[in-house]
Amino acid sequence: MALARVSTAELQRRLVHASGTGLVLLYVFGVVTWAQFGRLMLFAAAVAAVLETLRLFIGLDWAIYDRLTRPYEETNVAGYALYMFSITAVALVFAPHLAVPAALMLTIGDPISGLLGTTREADEAKGVETLGAMFLVCLLVSAPFLVPVAGAVAGGAASVAAALAATLADGFKPVIAGYVIDDNLSIPPVAAVAGGVVLAVAGAAPVVG
């Protein structure tokens, strides 16, 4: 599968996107506790909210916004803020074995998917090969967290469900009332909910944190 041709600005966006993995790894490697990670994400989300309020309503016009935001984000909340909000939400609601892979699907899976196949329009679906790569990456980042706590069958099924939900969210961005439902907002919650439903039905592991 060939990499899609991407601009320097698009590559920079993907690298910044992937850098959020470092926040998640602080918990994975035991640098912070789960409670501390939740507070860290609350702080990051609050900073993003303040910056977006300044940008949208007061006119904060930093050059970095020109490089890292897309045209449809000029009058809407930018993807980086939605990214922080969605990871924070799953960290506060779901158990770590669901929230961590859901976040990694966004920080790792989405940039890889974007490099493999960018789209021209917000509501244009990605190609089948790109979606397949996204599903595989999401499955690989979810299984190590879900299988150990829920077992091979339930954990594997939850991993598949979470990866499939994230792939669908990544593959198509609907536009509702002129607002793009950005995958930065949708990937973590839909992945955590899908995986959580499987765990709850199987009674295999806790769902909420």
68: its two tokens: 């890292």
The tens digit of pLDDT for each residue in 6-41 reads 667 667 677 777 888 999 999 999 999 999 999 999
The tens digit of pLDDT for each residue in 140-152 reads 999 999 999 999 9
- The H-or-E segment that residue 112 falls in is helix 110-116
Handedness of CA 137, 141, 142, 143 (dihedral sign): positive
Among 41-55, 84-98, 155-169, the minimum mean pLDDT is found in 41-55
Residue 72 · residue 184 · CB < 8 Å: no
Distance CA(53)–CA(60), nearest Å, equals 9
Residue 173 · residue 167 · CB < 8 Å: no
DSSP class of residue 107 equals: I
- pTM of the predicted structure, to 2 decimals: 0.86
The tens digit of pLDDT for each residue in 168-199 reads 999 877 677 666 678 899 999 999 999 999 99
**DSSP helix/strand/coil, 179:** strand
